[in-house]
Structure 1
Amino acid sequence: MENNHYRIDTAALQVQQEIRVSDSIAIIEQKCMLAPVQFLKSNLDNKKLRERTTEPDIKITIGTMLIKIGTLAGIKNEIDSLVGQDIMRMILTTYADLTLEEIYKAFELERYGSFEDKTEHFQLFNADYIAKILKKYKNWKLNMKMNHDISKNSTLQLAAVTEGQKEQILIDGVNRVFQEYQETNTISDPSEYIFDFLVEKGKIKNSNNPKLLEYYQLKLQQAKTELSKEQSKKTSTDKLERQRIKVDMEQIVAGYSPKIIIRAKRNILKEYFDKQISLKAEKII
């Protein structure tokens, strides 16, 4: 019994962390929507990575953000654990003078053709490719700051975010994820906050509805089956990584893993988006 309580508490903590990371990335994406000059000015108020190394969520935020960046870049392969560790080490050392917002912005500029030349990734999302993009960003940033006289003294003083602005951030996030889904047929994580917001707005019906209870239970079982199959294929040469894979598998099979709920929400969100596409919807809200 004691062990079960521990597992449930651990799962609850993981869900809470997923929500925090989702919120953080939604805010980062909103900041990156600013025009280049405004972005660079506002970024002067953001903490550099070297000032955030002790934050409990920083590594999972970076990792989750990089997975989304890779998906948007059209990279289909999963990041190997050793490659992921190498990338994380590089970002937190060589590029610790950048902010999270700048890393996201760098790859956005690359996708949108804002740099002079395009860097081919050849389906390899590794430290070498990421370093090339971040180097281009730093050169772009230096030129922009010189040409537009951007310094700490010219920082835009952004007002505190109101409740109305927070809601608009979420609305923009929903519509952006819907647009990305139409282009890539993929919903990148974190997406849980999108699902929760659409439930709150009544766009997606809540599982408390008795008529939908069976549907939601089916989606949870489907998510569990998908994750079990995916997890069974995972392997690693790293002992600690193999242990993590084993623990993840045990939690999924036992039904304790928060990944089951997250995957179920993503699958339901996909079905909702597909329905909106069939209805020729241009945006969700």
Structure 2
Amino acid sequence: MPPLAAATPNRIKSRAGAPARSSGSQAAKPTRWASASYLPRTLTAKLLTGGAAACLFIGVGLTVWLWTGEGRSEPPTIVAMTPPVSATPVEPSPPAPWDPKTAILESNPKTTYFGLPLEGKTIGLVVDNDRTMAPYIDRLAAVTNSLTRSEHLQGRRFGIVRPANRDRSNIVEVAEPSGDLEGARSVLVSRVPTGDTDLPRALLTTRGWYADQLFLLLSKPVDNEQMALLTQAAEQSGAITHVVALGQAAEQDLSPIANATGGRFIPVTDDLLDDLVRRSE
């Protein structure tokens, strides 16, 4: 191939020294020289085409090897990555409201007192001896004495306070807490209650007992002044005080006395008391 002439690209040159032909004679075909920029463009296009083909070949070959390559009896496991799901917290259901009737009917009278389990080492009873207690004292004594004879009370100290008003004496009979329960049982005996009693005074008698639980048992209605005095006395006792209401007292809301110390108010109907007596025998 003859060397490229140093001329402007794409210009038509005649051979050096060739005589000019007349216009009438046949003109010689001129020689055209390709531009210098044409070769790099052609080479680049071929390289790009070859590179794309090579990438396609490698991609297809790698896929075939992954699925059917030597030593692969099964297709590879593809794990889909999913964002973690946070568990929705489940709020606990609120406890069912405490029902005194259900508690009494389902409890064991040998190990509980009016449906409540005994807690702590020192248990105290404040049993009203008002005249309104006359229809209930025998049955109340049967339920209480059945519990004090139970082996479940072994290791516990048990005391009873009984306000009375015989011949206007307005006294408070006390059996101090003791592991010997005979003294406590001797206070709670069947007798006909008479007169009005001083319940707040009887409840305050237990302050020196350092009792864990107190049970206030009454059957007479309580006015607002007595309610306030009994609530204050229960707080000063230092013990959890439960209120067991019989007769007319069961028809009144005496829960403020119990609530002041974290205790329970337990209204007891005549039928419920009879059922408890039968199961206490």
Q: Shared fold (TM-score greater than 0.5)? A: no
TM-score, normalised by the number of residues in structure 2: 0.24
Structure number with higher helix proportion:
1
Higher RCO (C-alpha under 8 Å, 6+ residues apart): 1
Structure number with higher strand proportion:
2
User: Greater Rg, structure 1 or structure 2?
Assistant: 2
